Structure 1
């Protein structure tokens, strides 16, 4: 990955957590990432094959709460990577990056719980009769919640147009 990709990920994280953390740590992290890239020989041509791993996925997650969910998963993947790189973890720049990721991960615990919820939902055996009965029992409250929390854009537009018409100051 290029430094721009790492910077993009860190800037995305900073947009979710406020600028203070990233303003104080971003220059040092960027320097440490450059050293890590040298350790991994990440400038080789095969790195570009197949496109990016994380940044393409981030593009479709636009709202801050959504970004926290995907970023929590991305950060956990980076932490898994750092747990598996072995002797390189004794280097100071690797420790600095690892510590920064842990700090960010700690602030993402609620979002990570949401990811776990999604993974648990994906594992539900929807061919199981008991699960089906429970799902049918919860269908109306689920639809009600969806429709009340997210009214259609047409209704919103109509309401806002009416407000504009009423206010003839």
Structure 2
């Protein structure tokens, strides 16, 4: 990834979480990312193999609450990466890591949502106890879904009746 991509991700994360950094701090982070890029030799041709790992995934997440979920996961992955990267007195690594930790502090709810999704994907739906619990929760789940997202069929009826009134 280019430094501009890293900068874009960091800027996106900060803007979505209300952690708008000052211009001088953003400039400093951009410079730090340039140094980090040099540390990792990220100009090598194999970096482009297989496409991007974060920016392509961000495109399909459209709503702000959705983006917070995916960005929280991206931040946690960066923090995981920085936990194994030796700083060796390199202040630019420490600066980027600190900025990510600051952003991460605002992501606890979104990260919990990611954990919930991961736990749901791990459920063994062929287990009879899980199936019994799921059956007990089916109606409240459907009820919640229908309350939060009314069927588009009802909206059509309303708009059709309004059109009829206009024609009279």
The alignment's TM-score, normalised by the length of structure 2, stands at: 0.88
Distance 1:124 1:24, change over 3 A: farther
1:117 aligns with 2:113: no
Contact 1:61 1:67 in 2 (8 A): yes
Distance 1:83 1:19, change over 3 A: closer
Secondary structure in 2 matching 1:126: coil
Which whole-Å deviations, capped at 9, do the CAs of 1:61-101 have from their partners, x for residues lacking one? 11110001000000000000001112x35310000000000
Distance 2:105 2:33 in 1: 21
Q: Which residue of 1 aligns with 2:34?
A: 34
Q: Which residue of 1 aligns with 2:103?
A: 104
| Superposition deviation, residue 26 in structure 1 | 1.7
**RMSD over equivalenced CA pairs, Å:** 2.2
Aligned length: 166
Contact 1:72 1:108 in 2 (8 A): yes
Which structure 1 residue ranges, 4+ long, deviate > 3 Å from structure 2? 152-167
Distance 1:164 1:112, change over 3 A: farther
Q: Which moved more, 1:152-161 or 1:59-68?
A: 152-161
Q: Which residue of 1 aligns with 2:50?
A: 50
Secondary structure in 1 matching 2:21: helix
Distance 1:83 1:104 in 2: 16
The alignment's TM-score, normalised by the length of structure 1, stands at: 0.88
Distance 1:54 1:127, change over 3 A: same
- Runs of at least 5 residues in structure 1 that lack an aligned partner in the other structure: none
Distance 1:26 1:158 in 2: 51
Secondary structure in 2 matching 1:107: coil
Q: Structure 1 or 2: larger helix share?
A: 1
Distance 2:38 2:102 in 1: 24
Alignment of 1:5-44 (within 5 A): 5-18=5-18, 20-21=20-21, 23=23, 25-44=25-44
1:143 aligns with 2:142: yes
Contact 1:11 1:22 in 2 (8 A): no
Secondary structure in 2 matching 1:62: coil
